[in-house]
Amino acid sequence: FKFVVTDPSAVLHVAIQSQGMVKASYIGHWVMTLKWLYVNPEFCHWNNIKHWKNDPTLKPGCIRGWFPLLDSEFKHNHTAGEMEMEISWTYVEDWGNNWRPPRAKALEQLTENSNETKLRLGDIEAVQKMLDHFPLLVRVKRVTIRNVAFYLKDLFLGYKGALEKKGVKEE
């Protein structure tokens, strides 16, 4: 299948499900941001993935191999198995940039952003472990924020915020 992506930080999420009699259940997940597919396809360092930089039989922008699946809690515990997969991509400079994302209300946009952030982070315990051992400590004595207007009710109004509905223009 093919799809258009305009944001290199978008998350590619492949979910493998079983088709049960009553309901589907997750077998495993594979997650990677699209920029890592191009910048560093060996980012999946726990596997021997072939890519166009190390395998001359593959065309540019292609990776192939056995990808480790995360379990239902997005943990790398090697219990979900692996999936053989090939992913290829191309850059099309003038693809007729007339595609626009579907309109979403502010709260829907925040929810989508939070879900993508969760996918990028993956295993929260592993992130916490990394942060516990991160060799950087920042001490901030003071932060000043000026001239900020925050309209919480705009999150629940729909496609137009309170000021837009009143006809107020941004300065």
In SS3 terms, 138-171 reads as CCCCCCCCCCCCCCHHHHHCCCCCHHHHHCCCCC
**In the prediction, which pLDDT does 146 show?**
93
Whether the pLDDT of residue 88 is over 60: the answer is yes
pLDDT digits (tens, 9 = 90+) for 27-83: 888 888 888 877 777 665 555 677 767 788 888 888 888 888 888 888 877 788 888
Find the distance separating the first CA and the last CA of the chain, reported in whole Å.
44
**In the prediction, which pLDDT does 141 show?**
93
**In the prediction, which pLDDT does 97 show?**
66
**In the prediction, which pLDDT does 96 show?**
63
- pTM, to two decimals: 0.65
**In the prediction, which pLDDT does 144 show?**
95
Mean pLDDT estimate for the chain: 79
pLDDT digits (tens, 9 = 90+) for 145-162: 999 887 777 777 777 777
C-alpha torsion angle, residues 81, 1, 65, 25 (rounded to 10): 0
**Residue 37: how many other CB atoms lie within 10 Å:** 20
Q: Contact 138/90 with Cβ under 8 angstroms?
A: no
**In the prediction, which pLDDT does 45 show?**
52
Tokens (6 digits) for 97: 């940039």
154 vs 114 pLDDT, higher one: 114
Residue listed under structure tokens 């315990």: 125
Characterize the bridge pairing of strands 82-88 and 62-68: antiparallel
**In the prediction, which pLDDT does 157 show?**
72
Whether the pLDDT of residue 23 is over 70: the answer is yes
Per-position b or e across 62-87, b if 16+ CB within 10 A of its CB: bbbbebbbbbeebbeeeebeebeeeb
